[in-house]
Amino acid sequence: MSMKPALLGGEKLISQPLPRELFTWPILNAEMDQAILDVLHNRKMSGLDITRQFEQAFADWHGVKYGLGCPNGTAALQCALYGAGVGSGDEVICSTCTFWASITQVYSLRATVRFADIVPETLCIDPDYLEKLITPRTKAVMAVHVYSMPAEMDQISAICRKHRIKLIEDCSHSHGALYKGKITGSLGDAAGFSIMTGKSFACGEGGIMLTDDREIYERAILFGHARRHSEDLQLEAYKIQPGKLWHCGIPWGGIKGRLNQFTSALGLVQLKKYPAEMAEIQAAMNYFSDLIDEIPGLKSIRPADARSTKGGWYASHMIYDSAALNGLSVTAFYNAISAEGIAGCYPYGYRPLHLHPLFQTIDVFNEGRPTRLSCLPEGIDIRENPGDLPLAERIGSRVMLQPQFKKFDKKAIELYVSGFRKIAEYSKELLSVDKGNPQEMGKWFMSAI
Ligand SMILES: Cc1ncc(COP(=O)(O)O)c(C=O)c1O
């Protein structure tokens, strides 16, 4: 057995923190500095030329026809929803365990959301649950590849085709991730990506929508892309006749959604360097995960299909099984590994959105009804009760964020894993200092409520 845990008075395993560059993100280079300076000195911060190059290159990477740069991922997904035809009285189905910006945009389109439970092994939407939520009002499914894990797209696509509803991917966590050999972002009718600094494909505040569908692309431009109307609208239905209508420069219902060109310029550099960075992360995180899978009570979350990958492993998680560790709570496990000097690993999973007041009671637009219901016919109540989505509601006590290795340093990874192993070995003894989990686990990242 290893030496006693630090939390029980033993010696701390890691007295010096690991080198910062193992975890530093994003990785910068001189080409990025130059790209920013070029935009600045050419006074092109607000133009479209660099953005158009980035849109095309990003779309090409995905084998998709159209890319549309947006100010952030939230706006890219809003464009995709509007593009897909989501409007008044429509329902969009989404997993309840995601960041609010996967779906809250439906309110701005006078639509609403139906929340689905998750598959416990992947943390992504449960396709069987999803299908049960379909009504005549369902317009689209938002499939989030959450924490870099591709959602079960074959089954989800088949359901969407069968019911003739649109499929949108939220790829804000899955840049470069493959589902059965195909890149996420190319698997539905449209996709939206966040490319803000913390994300795997990190550029700065920004987002991009992808689609193969000309109608979705043009509707998205109409909605929030002032000044592109005269150049980009080709379909008769969406063409704005110059001179006839005055609004060539006015977004159609949305707000101006142009991507700033600092971000586009960084995006062009990222496209060159991301494949190598992703390969190194894959090697490091797969090695870490292989070792973690040998420890009782811990299990990496990885795709079952050998052709699928987790791309940049954004905010990846592992499953924590308290029962296999003598009932030790995930909070006590976390306290014990922290005392050993292990950083960047803690209990954390998205707290289910369906329990948040925004999806229960809040009246955003002063309509005298909860906004979740205000677009629906009187008498229809789609709100969930606590306990309705049980797997999602239990997520907080059974997942842990993994340390996010950006460099493959075998020794450092092995050192970290030995800390996890040590604590697992002492799980019984650690029960003496286990105060259990707090009543509320996980985070909403929406408000202090
Ligand atoms: C799953 C998910 N979807 C959408 C977004 C929205 O992206 P942005 O912050 O760029 O608006 C995020 C951002 O963190 C996210 O995590």
Tens-digit pLDDT profile for residues 89-133: 999 999 999 999 999 999 999 999 999 999 999 999 999 999 999
Report, as an integer, the average pLDDT of 339-345. Answer: 94
pLDDT for 13: 96
Report, as an integer, the average pLDDT of 249-272. Answer: 90
pLDDT over 70 (residue 246): no
Residue-range domain boundaries for the chain: 30-269
Tens-digit pLDDT profile for residues 155-200: 999 999 999 999 999 999 999 999 999 999 999 999 999 999 999 9
Tell how far the Cα of 73 is from the centroid of ligand 1, in angstroms. 5
Among 70, 74, 77, 79, say which to mutate for ligand 1: greatest number of ligand atoms within 8 Å of CB: 74
pTM above 0.95, yes or no: yes
Mean model confidence pLDDT for the chain: 94
Tens-digit pLDDT profile for residues 129-166: 999 999 999 999 999 999 999 999 999 999 999 999 99
pLDDT for 231: 82
Q: Is the CB of 170 under 6 A from ligand 1?
A: yes
Confidence of residue 349 (pLDDT cuts 50, 70, 90): confident
Q: Is the CB of 148 under 6 A from ligand 1?
A: no
Tell how far the Cα of 145 is from the centroid of ligand 1, in angstroms. 12
pLDDT for 212: 98
Atom of ligand 1 nearest to the CA of 74: 11
Between these two residues, 234 and 354, which has the higher pLDDT value? 354
Q: Is the CB of 73 under 6 A from ligand 1?
A: yes
Confidence of residue 1 (pLDDT cuts 50, 70, 90): low
Confidence of residue 12 (pLDDT cuts 50, 70, 90): very high
Tell how far the Cα of 264 is from the centroid of ligand 1, in angstroms. 17
Confidence of residue 229 (pLDDT cuts 50, 70, 90): confident
CA distances from 403 to 6, 42, 130 (A): 19, 40, 31
pLDDT for 250: 67
Report, as an integer, the average pLDDT of 297-324. Answer: 97
- Give CATH for domain 30-269: 3.40.640.10
Confidence of residue 30 (pLDDT cuts 50, 70, 90): very high
pLDDT over 60 (residue 348): yes
Tell how far the Cα of 353 is from the centroid of ligand 1, in angstroms. 14
pLDDT over 60 (residue 277): yes
Choose among 188, 194, 198, 158: nearest CA to 78. 194
- If you search the block for the tokens 């700033």, which residue do you land on? 260
What does the buried/exposed string (b/e) look like for 133-142 if buried means 16 or more CB atoms within 10 Å of the residue's CB?
bbeebbbbbb
Atom of ligand 1 nearest to the CA of 205: 10
Between these two residues, 319 and 235, which has the higher pLDDT value? 319
Share of the chain above pLDDT 90, in %: 87
- For the ranges 232-246, 367-381, 390-404, which has the lowest average pLDDT? 232-246
Q: Is the CB of 123 under 6 A from ligand 1?
A: no
pLDDT for 449: 47
pLDDT over 80 (residue 81): yes
Q: Looking at ligand 1, which residue's alpha carbon is closest to its atom 7? A: 73
pLDDT for 447: 59
pLDDT over 80 (residue 416): yes
